[in-house]
């Protein structure tokens, strides 16, 4: 039976635009959303304009403090989060159907853990699991395992999300290091490191306990380099630029570096984390077991003993 009246108008939009809208809602602006998604902010702006045009409604107010969802935008975000959760759940269920020890496992971690802990063990892992390819992501962000940005995380903080499964692997130890050439020229440091050169973190970087410890113990030194990159600080110390506080699991691999005796720097716990729905996937489970056993065998080296 034919329906009287005009056919209802159907809103049209690209489903992928929802991802951009969520990023803007979470970040509060185009630039921050662009950094999170690694997309040009102008592209995100165009996609938002297209989404608003397709839905025929305004989704965000442009305020001085950033982009704020309108009432319609808030409704869209609620639906988009539900869709995102369902897509993620579907991905986990499909992954769980994979019963073979084959495929790619994405691990996210820090530079020192990647270079000093994961990379040296790859030949042994490949020999045991030749069908599994490892991809390591070094990122200043804590990648979201729930959104499948990575399969496994090696983190220096205990996971707090309820859908993540974490296991403490041990502790990461630190030490003071310099090149033998530097120590020949400047001798071993005495109280407050007076007369010495220091390789430090950026001035406002105090999120880890090692930074205030270093600045206390070496208060008399002259800072010659600041960097949040452990690889950069290690390279500068090996070149003779000064003294650096480094994760021992990374620095002890460098024959150009000598460890300097001092009071023990603070350690950090190392956690092995995955999403609970991925933990039963064979390739993920095999990788988790390998990393846990590796940490057990390498406990002293990891802790800098």
One pLDDT digit (tens) per residue for the chain, 305 residues: 344 444 444 556 666 778 888 888 888 888 888 887 778 888 888 888 888 888 888 888 888 777 888 888 888 888 877 777 666 655 655 554 455 578 899 999 999 999 999 999 999 999 999 999 999 998 765 555 556 678 999 998 887 766 788 899 999 999 999 999 999 999 999 889 999 999 999 998 888 899 999 999 999 999 999 999 999 999 999 999 999 999 999 999 999 999 999 889 999 999 999 988 788 889 999 999 999 999 999 999 999 87
Burial call 171-185: b when 16+ CB within 10 Å, e when fewer: bbbbbbbbbeebbee
- β 268-275/164-172 pair status: antiparallel
**Residues 224/198, Cβ–Cβ less than 8 Å:** yes
Dihedral sign, Cα of residue 36, residue 40, residue 45, residue 48: negative
Looking at residue 5, its pLDDT comes to 43
Rounded Cα gap, residues 237 and 192, in angstroms: 18
Q: What pLDDT does residue 11 have?
A: 56
For residue 140, what pLDDT is reported?
60
How high is the pLDDT of residue 8?
44
pLDDT of residue 148: 67
Ordered domains of the chain (ranges, CATH):
17-94 (1.10.10.10), 99-172+268-303 (3.40.190.10), 174-260 (3.40.190.10)
Alpha-carbon torsion (295, 296, 298, 303), positive or negative: positive
Of 257, 276, 68, give the one whose Cα is nearest residue 161: 276
pTM of the model: 0.67
- Contact (Cβ atoms closer than 8 angstroms) between residue 283 and residue 101: yes
The length of the chain, given as a count of residues: 305
C-alpha dist (Å) from residue 200 to 135, 212, 229, 248: 30, 10, 10, 16
DSSP 8-state symbol, 292 = H
pLDDT the model gives residue 98: 53
């Amino acid at each position: 039976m034919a329906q009287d009246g005009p056919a209802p108008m159907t809103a049209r939009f690209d489903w992928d635009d929802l991802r951009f809208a969520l990023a803007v809602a979470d970040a509060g602006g185009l630039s921050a959303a662009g950094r999170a998604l690694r997309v040009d902010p102008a592209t995100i702006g165009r996609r938002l304009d297209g989404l608003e045009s397709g839905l025929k409604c305004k989704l965000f107010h442009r305020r001085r403090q950033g982009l704020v969802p309108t009432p319609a935008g808030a409704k869209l975000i609620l639906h988009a989060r539900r869709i995102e959760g369902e897509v993620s759940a579907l991905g986990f269920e499909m992954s769980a159907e994979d019963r073979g020890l084959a495929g790619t496992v994405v691990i996210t971690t820090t530079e020192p853990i990647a270079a000093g802990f994961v990379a040296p063990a790859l030949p042994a892992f490949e020999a045991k699991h030749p069908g599994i390819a490892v991809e390591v992501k070094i990122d200043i962000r804590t990648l979201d395992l729930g959104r499948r940005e990575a399969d496994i995380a090696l983190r220096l903080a205990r996971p707090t999300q309820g859908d993540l499964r974490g296991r403490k692997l041990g502790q990461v130890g630190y030490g003071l290091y310099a090149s033998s050439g530097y120590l020949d020229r400047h001798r071993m440091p005495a109280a407050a490191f007076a007369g010495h050169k220091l390789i430090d973190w950026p001035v406002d970087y105090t999120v880890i306990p090692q930074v205030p410890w270093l600045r206390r113990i070496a208060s008399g030194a002259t800072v010659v380099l600041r960097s949040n990159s452990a690889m950069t600080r290690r390279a500068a110390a090996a070149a003779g630029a000064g003294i650096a506080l480094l994760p021992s699991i990374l620095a002890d691999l460098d024959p150009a570096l000598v460890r300097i005796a001092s009071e023990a720097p603070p350690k950090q716990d190392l956690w092995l984390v995955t999403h609970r729905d991925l933990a039963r996937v064979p390739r993920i489970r095999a990788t988790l077991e390998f990393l846990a056993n590796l940490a057990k065998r390498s406990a002293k080296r990891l802790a800098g003993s």
